[in-house]
């Protein structure tokens, strides 16, 4: 084991953040097993050590290859991509309309892969304990404030969340939201690449991060970045799996209590919105993945009434019963493809919310809508009923095939991820595979509850 003494020389984090990592910023190369000690305090500040058979890095690499990485995949000039996906648990984020603690998207959509990464979390801990025992014990003590259900590894775990990075040369940054003065752990699985060294400029070192190594350091305190990654073979990959502990997870209740808390928080938010706009009409909105049957169900509901199309301040239809009385307003347009609010402009959201605040509730009676365009936390917070049409993916896929839809896999993945993130906002669920008459009866009951006086 190599021992390196390095003097801490602080850099201006604000000036360095976002800049490209460079080898010159870490003149001391560490390419094998090593511990970096602070020259003044003698403390081990970085560990760069090989893992033993307890962690199968080939299995980690295979799992990382299978991850469905969300969002845009931006191709860089060297022909490689930036991709990342989180797993484990996330805290309450009310500003993002997430009032309760929950699992990350990978835990919901690819639970087997999330389980593979989570299982390795506790296997990283012995390396942490061996090379920084005092810091490890302090970290473990801090983690006891988090309910075991929100720790990877349960009662024995200390990490709450992780991220899989796929061949990504991160610019300089520091991590945020972790417990102070503790380490994160990073497993490395790579092939057919050079570069990708982890540069820590404040200690003047760069770590080679070869396949089969674990790297441990305080990513919240130390500025760090990754040098460019270049391919050397047909399947260039540099996967890193980083484990850390978010301090905000201390506020999370046991899962069942957390669900109740989130529901109560959402109700309180809705109540505040109603107090701000006490005279606004009730809103019933259908959500669901493409092919779930939103447009079909809404058409079955509205076709029983006379409809008057209007275009200002955006397209909508006024619905009247046989006596000529208004029973509601349907948002958007009726057409064969991308009906409902999906027929409206991309930026229609603020206009709809302003209209809801200004319109005469007595004249409108009830607002109904469906479609992806307004399926977002900002709008759904103002809805009295958020109704999800639930269908198996295979059923939705077949329906889209039959109607000739050509949405690509990435687009569909984005819609499903969004629905998963908005799960806490759903008030009612309708089985989208049930007979249409049964679905309509369920929607009628929701309308009666929210809109009938």
- Band (pLDDT 50/70/90 cuts) for residue 74 is very low
Nearest partner of 320 among 307, 334, 303, judged by Cα: 307
Domain-located, residue 261: no
| Domain boundary, last residue among 217, 251, 285 | 251
Domain-located, residue 159: yes
List Cα–Cα distances, 51 to 86, 145, 212, 329, in angstroms. 22, 29, 6, 62
- Provide the number of structural domains found in the chain: 2
* 185, 306: one domain: no
pTM recorded for the entire structure: 0.66
* 51, 93: one domain: yes
- pLDDT 10s digits, 269-322: 666 655 555 578 999 999 999 999 999 999 999 999 999 999 989 999 999 988
Rounded to 5 degrees, φ, ψ at 362 are -65, -30
Mean pLDDT value across the chain = 90
Which of 28-37, 212-221, 402-411 has the lowest average pLDDT? 402-411
* 346, 226: one domain: no
d(CA 188, CA 70): 21
Q: Is 252 exposed, middle or buried (0-12, 13-18, 19+ CB in 10 A)?
A: buried
| Domain boundary, last residue among 235, 251, 267 | 251
Domain-located, residue 269: no
* 195, 86: one domain: yes
* 301, 367: one domain: yes
Element of type H or E holding 186: strand 184-191
Structural domain of 87: 2-251
| Average pLDDT score over residue span 106-119 | 93
| Average pLDDT score over residue span 376-394 | 92
* 27, 104: one domain: yes
Domain-located, residue 266: no
* 310, 434: one domain: yes
Domain-located, residue 72: yes
Element of type H or E holding 67: none
The CATH number of whichever domain residue 364 belongs to comes to: 3.40.50
pLDDT at site 275: 59
* 227, 329: one domain: no
* 304, 239: one domain: no
Rounded to 5 degrees, φ, ψ at 176 are -130, 150
pLDDT at site 108: 87
| Average pLDDT score over residue span 321-347 | 87
The CATH number of whichever domain residue 17 belongs to comes to: 3.60.130.30
pLDDT at site 60: 93
Nearest partner of 162 among 87, 263, 250, 248, judged by Cα: 87
| Domain boundary, last residue among 251, 286, 314 | 251
Give the CA-trace dihedral at 143, 148, 150, 153, to 10 degrees.
90
């Amino acid at each position: 084991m190599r021992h390196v003494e390095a003097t801490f020389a602080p850099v201006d984090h604000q000036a360095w953040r976002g800049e490209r990592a460079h080898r010159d910023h870490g003149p001391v190369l560490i390419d094998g097993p090593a511990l970096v000690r602070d020259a003044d305090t003698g403390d081990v500040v970085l560990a760069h050590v090989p893992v033993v058979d307890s962690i199968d890095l080939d299995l980690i690499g295979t799992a990382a290859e299978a991850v469905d990485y969300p969002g845009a995949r931006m191709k860089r000039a060297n022909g490689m991509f930036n991709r990342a996906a989180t797993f484990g648990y996330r805290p309450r984020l009310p500003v993002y309309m997430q009032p309760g603690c929950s699992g990350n998207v990978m835990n919901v959509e690819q639970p087997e892969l999330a389980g593979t990464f989570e299982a390795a979390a506790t296997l990283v801990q012995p390396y942490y304990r061996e090379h920084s025992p005092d810091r490890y014990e302090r970290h473990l003590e801090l983690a006891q404030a988090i309910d075991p259900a929100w720790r990877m590894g349960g009662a024995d775990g200390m990490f709450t969340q992780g991220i899989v990075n796929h061949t990504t040369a991160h610019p300089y940054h520091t991590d945020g939201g972790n417990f102070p003065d503790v380490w994160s752990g990073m497993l490395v699985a790579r092939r057919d690449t050079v570069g990708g060294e982890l540069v820590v400029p404040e200690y003047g070192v760069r770590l080679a991060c070869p396949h089969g190594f674990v790297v441990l350091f305080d990513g919240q305190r130390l500025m760090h970045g990754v040098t460019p990654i270049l391919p050397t073979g047909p399947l260039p990959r540099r996967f890193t799996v980083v484990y850390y502990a978010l301090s905000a997870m201390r506020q999370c209740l046991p899962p069942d209590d957390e669900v109740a808390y989130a529901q109560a928080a959402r109700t309180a938010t809705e109540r505040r919105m109603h107090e701000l706009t006490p005279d606004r009409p009730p809103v019933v909105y259908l959500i669901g993945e493409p092919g779930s049957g939103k447009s079909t169900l809404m058409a079955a509901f509205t076709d029983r009434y006379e409809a008057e199309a209007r275009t200002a301040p955006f397209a909508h239809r006024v619905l009247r019963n046989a006596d000529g009385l208004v029973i509601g307003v349907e948002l958007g347009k009726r057409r064969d493809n991308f009906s409902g609010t999906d027929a409206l402009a991309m930026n229609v959201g603020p206009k709809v919310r302003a209209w809801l605040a200004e319109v005469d509730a007595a004249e409108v009676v009830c607002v109904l809508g469906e479609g992806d365009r307004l399926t977002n936390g900002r709008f759904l917070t103002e809805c009295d009923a958020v109704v999800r049409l639930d269908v198996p993916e295979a059923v939705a896929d077949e329906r889209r095939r039959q109607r000739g839809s050509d949405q690509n896999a990435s687009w569909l993945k984005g819609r499903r991820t969004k629905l998963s993130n908005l799960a806490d906002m759903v008030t009612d669920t309708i089985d989208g595979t049930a007979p249409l008459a049964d679905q309509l009866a369920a929607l009628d009951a929701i309308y009666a509850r929210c809109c009938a006086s």
